[in-house]
Amino acid sequence: MSVKLAVIYYSSSGTNYQLANWAKEGGQAAGAEVKVLKVPELAPQAAIDSNPAWKAHLEETANVPEVTLDDLEWADAIIFSAPTRFGNVPGQLKQFLDTTGGLWAEGKLANKVVSAMSSAMNPHGGQEKTIQAIYTTMYHWGAIIAAPGYTDPVTFAAGGNPYGTSVTVTQDGKLVEDVQEAVKYQAKRTVDVAKALQSL
């Protein structure tokens, strides 16, 4: 039975969308059925219009489906990807997570295998705290955290974040660290843990 992987992201200018697509590639290579899903945008249109990169990214990803609670129920494994906001989760992702209480109360989020990724404009901009904030919610779900740790050298090559792949982004949107293989490995590890759980 193949693992069903939901890659759920929030991205204002494209970095975490790129990470999500690399995770999709890694998950598919590991044999998973994968959906890439975005959380709904909550920012006012005036704010979006004031930032050309933000507006362009929203238009470019208009066809990406928005995540629903049904997607969480469908998934065996979930990878979240979101930029840091003052060392915390973006409001858009937090709003979606706050709607999961019904599924949680029914026990339908327990034993999901979960991993997370993040980005910021400097190496110490809160990526680790953002990933840990996502994991805090997952502990309440009763999910199984599949952090990459230092289980493969590719983690070191990408900057060495054991909690989840994270990347630094320049003012013009360029990724500083080469994290593509680390993201794919993290997705493979997440799928492999989900497969192991299925076999119990």
CATH assignment at residue 78: 3.40.50.360
What one-letter code names the amino acid at 15? Answer: T
Of 117, 21, 17, 89, the C-alpha closest to 59 is: 17
Residue 145 Cα distances to 44, 79, 141, 159, angstroms: 33, 10, 11, 20
* Containing structural domain, residue 71: 4-198
- Predicted confidence (pLDDT) per residue in 122-150, tens digit: 989 999 999 999 999 999 999 999 999 99
- Residues (pLDDT < 70) of the chain are none
Cα(76)–Cα(80) distance, rounded to whole angstroms? 13
Total domains in the chain come to 1
Of 120, 121, 192, 110, the C-alpha closest to 151 is: 192
